[in-house]
Amino acid sequence: MIKIDEIKLKDYLSKIFSSDIRIRDIKKLGEGFHGVGFLIDTVNKKGEEKRYFLKTLHEQGFGHEYASDRANVIIRALMDDNLLPNHVKVLDAGSIQENGLLLSLGKPEEFFIIMEEGKGMEYWGDLDRIRDSGILTKNDEDRIRIISDYLASIHSVKYDGDNSKYLYKRVVRDFVGHGELTMGVIDTFPDKLDFVSNKKLVEIVKKMVEWWDKIKHNDKRLTVIHGDFYPGNIWFDDKKLVILDRSRFRYGDPADDTTCFTMNLINYSVMAYGEFKDPFKKLLELFFSQYLKKRNDPDIFKLSPLFFAFRALVCIHPVFYSAEWLESRGFKKESIENLSESKKKIINFASNILDEEEFIVKKINSYLKD
């Protein structure tokens, strides 16, 4: 439970209200399902009494597992509550720092993030060259081992917090219903597509719901993950690996990252050759061989179908993987003209993999068939 430092709270209130606030009492009102409330009894230098209510949120359940989730609830209240007639007025919101200092969020309208410039070349360039040459060089094999070792390393950091069972359920649930994941991605598709019907997409989602119920209790699998480990977020500055744009989850199932990366290898091969074959087959096999050599995870293929299905839906996205995008990446005219056929095969993959008990590398081409 968050502890409120009375001295720091007094300093905060004095800055917010621009007056000499004296705190007479801080009383914990109790705990509800979502959080803890405190009643703050104050008096200013004019002798005027005023009571304020301060609320913090629990980290267990209801999609509040991360501090960023709780920040979302607080920010939403700050920006929205006062717009509603008769609503209790929200005066401010803020953060409690590691040293107990209370900082105001002010009156935000939008938000931003700033970071260092990433240096290097994205891994797509490697895949373009491999596609065109049809061979793997020693450098290609070295780089796939670096990528695999990186994931094995971050996945070795387990999560053992008290809210692990809620957090894993949330990870699996979000893969179906989150706005950035399955349902949200599908909702950004045009209403009519020539390579998949809405009925087929709904069937895939229904299968994914069954997988949600099937695997949601595997909280012992929670580890550190990246969350969007596809070639555009993987760069190389010579031999140095540079990673961009961690997404959504701090912790999750390792299969999230491994399927994200390897689904793109499968998709690239299908778009280039109409099937899954060398050199991408060898690249994928080398990736998993190296990964399992560095990190023992006998169940990863048993959990993979749900995560593969989502990544497959991303790969058929008409905006992310468009004819224009293929042209910019140097795909041959034939591949661009057959893009809809390639996407149909990836849709087959998404549907078929969900009917399997586990992912089997040797069966990838059979997953692509109608």
Per-position DSSP letters for 290-352, written without gaps between them: HHHHHS--TTHHHHHHHHHHHHHHHHT-TTTT-HHHHHHTT--HHHHHTHHHHHHHHHHHHHH
**Residue 109 located in a structural domain:** no
Same domain? 183 vs 326:
yes
CA distance 265 to 263: 5
**Residue 169 located in a structural domain:** yes
Positive/negative CA dihedral, 264, 325, 346, 228 = positive
**Residue 114 located in a structural domain:** no
What average pLDDT does this structure show over 170-186?
93
By mean pLDDT, which of 66-80, 228-242, 297-311 is the weakest?
66-80
What average pLDDT does this structure show over 301-330?
96
Q: How confident is the model at residue 280 (pLDDT cuts 50, 70, 90)?
A: very high
Q: What is the pLDDT of residue 336?
A: 97
Domain boundary residue, one of 104, 131, 149:
104
Please, what is the average pLDDT of the chain? 91
Q: What is the pLDDT of residue 184?
A: 92
Domain boundary residue, one of 104, 132, 159:
104
**Residue 1 located in a structural domain:** no
Q: How confident is the model at residue 33 (pLDDT cuts 50, 70, 90)?
A: low
CA distance 128 to 159: 37
Domain boundary residue, one of 37, 71, 104:
104
Q: What is the pLDDT of residue 247?
A: 85
In the chain, the number of structural domains is 2
Same domain? 151 vs 26:
no
Q: What is the pLDDT of residue 51?
A: 86
**Residue 116 located in a structural domain:** no
Same domain? 330 vs 206:
yes
Would you state the structure tokens that stand for residue 274, as one six-digit string?
């109409």
Same domain? 96 vs 125:
no
Same domain? 289 vs 188:
yes
Same domain? 81 vs 159:
no
**Residue 112 located in a structural domain:** no
Same domain? 291 vs 336:
yes
What average pLDDT does this structure show over 225-241?
94
Same domain? 46 vs 191:
no
**Residue 328 located in a structural domain:** yes
Same domain? 181 vs 238:
yes
Cis before 231? omega within 30? no
Q: What is the pLDDT of residue 52?
A: 86
Same domain? 41 vs 131:
no
- Cβ-based neighbour number of residue 154 at 10 Å: 17
* Per-residue pLDDT tens over the stretch 332-341: 999 999 999 9
Same domain? 182 vs 52:
no
CA distance 208 to 326: 29
* Per-residue pLDDT tens over the stretch 190-216: 989 999 999 999 999 999 999 999 999
Same domain? 146 vs 77:
no
pLDDT at 8 over 90: no
CA distance 128 to 124: 6
Q: What is the pLDDT of residue 50?
A: 85
Name the residue range of residue 249's domain: 121-367
What average pLDDT does this structure show over 320-343?
96
**Residue 247 located in a structural domain:** yes
- Domain CATH code at residue 63: 3.30.200
Burial 25-41 (b: 16+ CB within 10 A, else e): ebeeeeeeeebbebebe
Judge whether 32 and 15 are in contact, CB under 8 Å. Answer: no
